[in-house]
Structure 1
Amino acid sequence: MKRNFEAIKRIVIKIGTSSLVLPNGKINLAKIDQLAFVISSLMNKGLEVTLVSSGAMGFGLNMLDLAKRPKELAQQQAVSSVGQVAMMSLYSQIFSHYQTTVSQILLTRDVVEYPESLGNVTNAFESLFKLGIVPIVNENDAISVEEMDHITKFGDNDRLSAVVAKITKADLLIMLSDIDGLFDKNPTVYEDAQLRSYVPEITDEILKSAGGVGSKFGTGGMLSKIKSAQMVFENGGQMVLMNGEKPRDILRVLDGAPLGTLFAQK
């Protein structure tokens, strides 16, 4: 299928913790700079871009010089709270180099499930787009909980990015990962694994080919990305799953380059 994104006006870009934090726990400044450049370039072309960014925990561990994620929930929330401030401060600083203003929107699942609060957050997005500001969205990890009668967590930011794509009526969700796209089987196990360049529907075979968990810093896996694509389909959008190693490749993808996996219904 030939890719044509000329009609795309509104984009959601999702980046995971593994793309923002180096294996040694330090912040990947080069990656963030590239991402800011790409998003600013798209904004200058008249597109409206939302960034869904994980990383609060990773930034918090770095700020507090902790080797691993705490086991206790309250401590995890504290680390995420510290990390969210550090992450947004860095985003604001680097985006400003490209004359782009960013804002922060922290969400919990209950916000999008109640009509009044959903309306409020929808209005916030629309107002930011009119002002030419990039909303940077993350789950509110400092207060999100997952209990039987009070579930406020999205589960992971793959799902959150699909929810944000729905709220903002985005034409395209670009999900940056540490893998090149969706393969027909696990490429870390099978040398003959083939990259699927185009997926028109989520079949049982597609679901079976997904599996595994994310990095030590993140929470998502391939299955959550497939389920996110399913949500995007339900809302009439498209999704590209691609390697986030070089964020500038986003520009190539939007120009039609066959990178990653395109999820688009016929």
Structure 2
Amino acid sequence: MSPARQAISAARRVVVKIGSSALTSLEGGIDLARLDKLAEAIEARMAAGSDVVVVSSGAIGAGMAPLGLTRRPQDLATKQAAASVGQLALAHAWGTSFARFGRTVGQVLLSADDFARREHHRNAQRTLDRLRSLGAVAVVNENDTVATEEIRFGDNDRLAALVAHLVGADALILLSDVEGLFDGDPRKGPAALVREVRSTADLDGVIVGAGGALGTGGMASKLSAARLAADAGVPVLLAAATSAADALGEGLVGTAFAARPIRLSARKFWVRHAADASGTLHLDAGAVSAVAQRRRSLLAAGITSVTGRFYGGDVVAMVGPDGVVAARGVVAYDSTELEGMLGRSTSDLPSELQRPVVHADDLVAV
């Protein structure tokens, strides 16, 4: 057994994400039989001594059938209407299923803003910790009824990885309608299962696709979530929901992703993954090399232009000449101050403006 699988099998605190396709269908809303089997697998893991937080997709899918919708809505208002119906049904279904084991379920609805704002972040963390200490099962979902297109997580794979960081999880298990990561699309031809991902080198030649009819994820979002979790020092197991008992047991199924050897600090993790970028600094090629490859502080001389309005202490994105984000960091100056500093060497600036624009300690390459 690989070190990643050993860590996942032995993990005391686990986040389990369940995809929409594992819980709902276009024709009948929530599949209660499948949900019950998933609850049984989660209960077995908890009975063995692990704390488990559930991240459950399926609110929009659960609300479609009651509203007479035959395909996943595309407009925001209909998505939110379906979620408002589906969240109630989904929470009730989880509560009823776990009640068989004498467990109480607490629903926690989170938005991207809850991770971007540090005070909201702490409040969510306290809520989840208290639910666990009281013996309740926390079932987390995105607050689809109020989220806008601009502030959405994009998919619950990313939400699950952020929750894993939030609660200090020892493992993240992603359960969906796929057996694991394949080196191609198994629906279109022969493809081999990738059993272990120890580094990005193991992803060479892997081709991934988008999500299905009921979800917004897909393999690309799962790979992104695995990378995010790895930054937090959390190993990831990607497996089929139909193999939930095995995934939550010895963890010998699916694809295991190793955590990075040295996890990002909480501050750098927040800068890279959770904080909203308030503006953009456009860099020349030399500055991109300095911040992204040599991890140097960003100086005014390497900035060609600024986009957006921001203030000292805000998080900004740093973009190279090719338009690709190279890094994110906490800026030391307001956007109005920077306008007169662009392209100037530090020695040419007044003494009060000779600090780095983004210090290396507050900068994370993307």
TM-score (norm 2): 0.67
Amino acid paired to 1:35: L
Shift of residue 247 of structure 1? 2.4
Question: 1:11 and 1:131 mapped to 2: Cα distance?
Answer: 17
State the identity %: 40
1:194 corresponds to = 192
What displacement does 1:221 show?
A: 1.0
Question: 2-side partners of 1:169 and 1:54: how far apart?
Answer: 21
Per-residue CA distance 1:90-124 (angstroms, 9 max, x = gap): 11111101211111110110111111111111111
Cα distance, 1:208 vs. partner?
A: 5.5
Instruction: Provide the residue aligned with 1:248 in structure 2.
Output: 245
For residues 34 and 250 of structure 1, what CA distance do their matches in structure 2 show? 13
- Report the AA paired with residue 169 of structure 2: A
The CA deviation string for residues 213-261 of structure 1, in whole angstroms up to 9 with x for no partner, is: 211111101011001110111011100000112422234xx325x2100
Which one-letter code corresponds to 1:260 in the other structure? G
Counterpart for residue 97 of structure 1: 100
- Show the counterpart of 2:66: 63
Go from structure 1 to structure 2 and tell me whether the alpha carbon gap of 1:22 and 1:72 turns closer, same or farther (over 3 Å shift): closer
1:23, distance to aligned residue in structure 2 (A): 5.1
Amino acid at match of 2:193: L
Aligned-pair CA distance for 1:198:
0.7
Q: Secondary structure at the match of 1:95?
A: helix
Gaps spanning 5+ residues in structure 1: where?
none
Q: Which has the higher contact order (CA 8 A, sep 6+)?
A: 1
Aligned to 2:24: 21
The one-character-per-residue Cα deviations of 1:107-159 (angstroms, maximum 9, x if unpaired) are 1101111111111111111111111111101100011012xxxx321110011
Distance 1:67 1:107, change over 3 A: same
Which among 243, 247, 253 is matched to residue 259 of structure 1?
A: 253
Compute the displacement of 1:27 (Å). Answer: 2.3
Name the CA distance, whole Å, in 1 between partners of 2:70 and 2:238.
30
Aligned length: 257
Deviates more, 1:62-71 or 1:48-57: 62-71
Helix, strand or coil at the partner of 2:43: helix
Q: 1:153 is matched with which residue?
A: 152
In the other structure, the counterpart of 1:226 is 223
**Where do residues 80-91 of structure 1 align in structure 2 (5 Å cutoff)?**
80-91=83-94
Deviation, 1:7, is: 3.6
Q: TM-score, normalised by structure 1?
A: 0.91
Q: Which structure is larger by alpha-carbon Rg, 1 or 2?
A: 2
Which of 225, 233, 236 matches 2:233? 236
Over the aligned positions, Cα root-mean-square deviation in angstroms equals 1.7
Counterpart-to-counterpart distance in 1, 2:247 and 2:93: 21
